[in-house]
Structure 1
Amino acid sequence: GIMDQFVSVHARAEHALLLDCRSLEHELLPLDTSAVRVVVCNTMVHHELGSSAYNERRAQCEEAARLLSERVGGVEQLRDVTAEVLEQHADALDEVQLKRARHVVGENDRTVRAADALKAGDYQAFGRLMNQSHASLRDDYEVSCEELDLMVELAGRQPGVLGARMVGAGFGGCTVNLVFAEHADRAVGGIREGYRAVTGIEPEAYQFVAVGGARVEKC
């Protein structure tokens, strides 16, 4: 994908980056790092399903887009489908294809609403969308695992945590959390302690603020 490279060039301090991966249009969105922290928690596990499951889901999404295009036309990718169209033509897909499509269509809508939330400085709304995103990744896209779900659940119990979701290809790896800055240290401690108590694994956790992209500075 293009996201890592794009943010390395275009990132700006105190901002998140909204990117359209088709057109490469992008928009900087305000992210007040004095108010919130981004916390990444590592489950320290990786189940050997990643690459094959990724390819399988990509094929399922492509087939769902093809079948929907036969019904309504003009569907190159699932991003071209609205929730209303998907609901109206759900019978064109099998159960698995419908779940995959529901995740992609819903995630695109959540992304737009998340951008609006950041523009409004509504971190509570943004956090709720993160939680919804994880539920969709778990239930419809089916790329989560017990350890990721546990870490998201533990985050939700911590005061000051606004939202949490898995990141990456899934089946292990990390979660990303949005936390009020004054609660970040305590939240990290609570997540790590709870995860260690249940799994016996010592997780890693890192706090981040939004900074600018890669650059060369003359000393």
Structure 2
Amino acid sequence: MNDILIKKTIAVFQETFGTSPEKMVLSPGRINIIGEHIDYNDGYVLPAAIDKIICFAFAKNNSKKSRILALDLNEEFEVDLTQPISLSNVVWTNYILGVIKQLQDNGLLFGGFDCVFSSDIPVGSGLSSSAALECGTIFGIAALFNLSIPKVDIALMGQKAEHWVGINCGIMDQFSSVMGQENKVIKIDCKTLDYEYHDANFNDYSLILFDSNVKHSLMTSAYNERREQCDEGLAIIKSNFPEITSFRDCNESHVLSIKEEMAPNVFDRCYYVIKEIHRVALACKALDNGDIKTLGKLLFETHEGLSKEYLVSCQELDFIVDTLKQEKAVIGSRMMGGGFGGCTINLIKKGEEEAIKAKLTQMYKEAFDIELKIYDVKIGNGTSLYEPVF
């Protein structure tokens, strides 16, 4: 439990608004074990909510305006709920404006509210702080004004809000933030939104994130470009194989047989996607069998694909994975998230973690003159109400 974060959020709410919050919401970031860049390609992903959260404090203010304070940024803004919602020049506010717009567009009635939020999710590290912000805001408004919104719909509204902001993301981030369960990973069918939980028992291995502490500016443009390339490739596949409706219906032989019809970069993207969808199934089987070494091997394979075929890695991430690959205590490592920076997710033998952390930190600093950030994470629950004691 993030007690310090919760107490700080409550204290600032009381100080700012002169009253105690009526509703508290905890909304987590997420990791993805495997299935990267697959959620917008109708495949399967294997994410989990983590014990890094955004804590929200909400109260009604009996007006038509809402006032939101981002404690960590020491910034606030006000939104008039009677006026049309439009994009702001202040990036973080757009995620909240986006979900308010979604609620209004869906005909849900609510009034003005006051909100303070604070987070221990590292921003820009690929842990989906934006999804936590979107889903936590919707969850809080729903609780405050007794709106009945199914959890899956909260995730879908969060996704649409992100599209409105300009990131054409799939459903994984919001879905795992809302639907997470402690010590479980979620296998999500991104086409139907069917899902199933698998035990996240990594046995003799710890789950550790190494944050490259870089974020290259290619991210948004390259992300949307990858989507377009996959759409282009799938159209070519469908024209040759009418029975195929999505990448999940393909195997490697389909795309290899028509390689000459695709631009090289389109072929590479499609080839990666088809193999990665298959890796998710293998990863679920490995987890169910307690075969964590096979899971680790799959992580290394995914990184190779993301780096060489999908081209969303960078030299810093490749350095981390290549360095860890030489360590016997590390059985799996890959970049996680959209790419071009952010974190690697790593499986490290228990008892060897501190030695690996120290060695990698020194080597990374020598190679790039950048401080590595390290997060030990546990798999936690999805977005939920928290009952404070005042």
| In structure 2, distance between residues paired with 1:67 and 1:7 | 32
| In structure 1, distance between residues paired with 2:223 and 2:383 | 29
| In structure 1, distance between residues paired with 2:245 and 2:361 | 43
Using a 3 Å threshold, how does the CA distance of structure 1 residues 164 and 211 change in structure 2: closer, same or farther? same
Give the residue type in structure 1 aligned to 2:341.
G
Q: Deviations over 1:70-102 (max 9, x none)?
A: 100144433332112122222332211111111
Pick which of 179-188 and 139-148 moved more.
179-188
Q: Which residue of 2 aligns with 1:146?
A: 315
In 1, are the aligned partners of 2:187 and 2:195 still within 8 Å (CA)?
yes
Q: Deviations over 1:104-123 (max 9, x none)?
A: 00111111111111111111
Question: TM-score if structure 2 supplies the norm length?
Answer: 0.53
| In structure 2, distance between residues paired with 1:153 and 1:91 | 32
1:193 aligns with 2:362: yes
Of 182, 186, 189 in structure 2, the residue corresponding to residue 17 of structure 1 is 186
Give the residue type in structure 1 aligned to 2:300.
N
Q: Deviations over 1:36-79 (max 9, x none)?
A: 32211111112221111111111111010001101001444333
Q: Deviations over 1:181-204 (max 9, x none)?
A: 322222222221221121111110
In 2, are the aligned partners of 1:33 and 1:210 still within 8 Å (CA)?
no
Q: SS where residue 192 of structure 2 aligns?
A: coil
In 1, are the aligned partners of 2:203 and 2:292 still within 8 Å (CA)?
no
Moved over 6 A (4+): none
In 2, are the aligned partners of 1:38 and 1:209 still within 8 Å (CA)?
yes
1:60 aligns with 2:229: yes
| In structure 2, distance between residues paired with 1:121 and 1:133 | 20
RMSD, aligned α-carbons:
1.7
Structure 2 stretches lacking a partner, 5+ long: 1-169
| In structure 1, distance between residues paired with 2:184 and 2:352 | 21
| In structure 2, distance between residues paired with 1:172 and 1:211 | 24
Pick which of 9-18 and 120-129 moved more.
9-18
Structure possessing the higher relative contact order (Cα contacts under 8 Å, 6 or more residues apart)? 1
| In structure 1, distance between residues paired with 2:220 and 2:379 | 30
Using a 3 Å threshold, how does the CA distance of structure 1 residues 84 and 24 change in structure 2: closer, same or farther? same
Q: Which residue of 1 aligns with 2:252?
A: 83
| In structure 2, distance between residues paired with 1:131 and 1:125 | 10
* Superposition map of 1:111-130 within 5 A: 111-130=280-299
Q: SS where residue 182 of structure 1 aligns?
A: coil
Q: Which has the higher strand share?
A: 2
| In structure 1, distance between residues paired with 2:219 and 2:178 | 28
Give the residue type in structure 1 aligned to 2:265.
V
In 1, are the aligned partners of 2:272 and 2:310 still within 8 Å (CA)?
yes
Q: SS where residue 101 of structure 1 aligns?
A: helix
Q: SS where residue 37 of structure 1 aligns?
A: strand
Using a 3 Å threshold, how does the CA distance of structure 1 residues 129 and 34 change in structure 2: closer, same or farther? closer
Of 108, 118, 129 in structure 1, the residue corresponding to residue 277 of structure 2 is 108
Pick which of 72-81 and 36-45 moved more.
72-81
Give the residue type in structure 2 aligned to 1:25.
D
Q: SS where residue 216 of structure 1 aligns?
A: strand
Aligned residues: 219
Q: SS where residue 116 of structure 1 aligns?
A: helix
Q: Which residue of 2 aligns with 1:214?
A: 383
- Using the TM superposition, give the Cα deviation of residue 146 of structure 1 relative to its aligned residue in structure 2, in angstroms: 0.6
Alignment identity in percent? Answer: 30
* Larger gyration radius, structure 1 or structure 2: 2
1:180 aligns with 2:385: no
| In structure 2, distance between residues paired with 1:33 and 1:18 | 16
Q: Which residue of 1 aligns with 2:76?
A: none
- Using the TM superposition, give the Cα deviation of residue 217 of structure 1 relative to its aligned residue in structure 2, in angstroms: 4.5
